[in-house]
Amino acid sequence: MKSIDLHIHTTASDGTFSPRELVDYAIKKHLSAIAITDHDTMSGIKEALEYIETEQLPLQLIPGIEISTAAPGEYFGFHILGYFFEKDSEKRDVILHDLEIDLSRSSGCPEDAIKIVAKYGGVSSLAHPLEYCLSPQELNKQVQELASFGLNGIEAIYTTHSTEMTTQFKKIAEQSGLIITGGSDFHGKHKPGVDLGTGFGDLQIPYYIVDSLDKLAKPIG
């Protein structure tokens, strides 16, 4: 099975691997595709893309971001993952530059984050649903609201999720008509024991998720 990892951090935010080092490590780990999803920035994407393209490396890189949001009146905020499949290099550069500007001017709420990802043809997913400490009923309610804003998926496959939790989150996604995504949340030395692609050692994220994301992605004007 072709393996992937769609939740990874580099030195552009709080990871300890540079974008280039991360690419080398992903190839060493025999991953077919990765997404760099640094916190609230896409500044590490260009270095990784240029390295892969210049050296013609056997790795698919999906530009991504993990957006921190705060819901009005809520103690916690949701993290929204954004994935972008734009093939045109000029339009891709627009995404890498302008998306962060739009985020900095937004209210910081989940609805704005989801709509900004959609504006640039991206696909959005709720990151690490277990970490919000919600009951299944509460999470389902929140996911339905986020889906009404345009949320596309839930990160059902994640390092700290048991098999039962993964099944539960897949069911919640299905109830709201969402796809599932998956990632290790790799940070290098800042998250000891969490390895790229495999989490605590037994994480498996199938490639078909990339196809599901790609089908939802749209070209920007």
User: What's the pLDDT tens digit per position in 87-130?
Assistant: 999 999 999 999 999 999 999 999 999 999 999 999 999 999 99
Q: Report the share of the chain in percent with pLDDT over 70.
A: 97
User: What's the pLDDT tens digit per position in 39-63?
Assistant: 999 999 999 999 999 999 999 999 9
Q: Residue 154: CB partners within 8 Å, gap ≥ 6?
A: 125, 126, 129, 143, 169, 172, 173, 178, 179, 180, 181
Query: Model's pTM, two decimal places?
Result: 0.97
How far apart CA 101 and CA 41 sit, in angstroms, is: 10
> Structural domains in the chain?
4-216 (3.20.20.140)
How far apart CA 132 and CA 79 sit, in angstroms, is: 10
Mean pLDDT value of segment 198-202: 97
Closest to 38 in 3D by CA, of 186, 159, 192: 186
Answer yes or no: are the C-beta atoms of 12 and 46 closer than 8 Å: no
Instruction: Give the residues across from 124 on adjacent strands.
Output: 82
How far apart CA 28 and CA 176 sit, in angstroms, is: 37
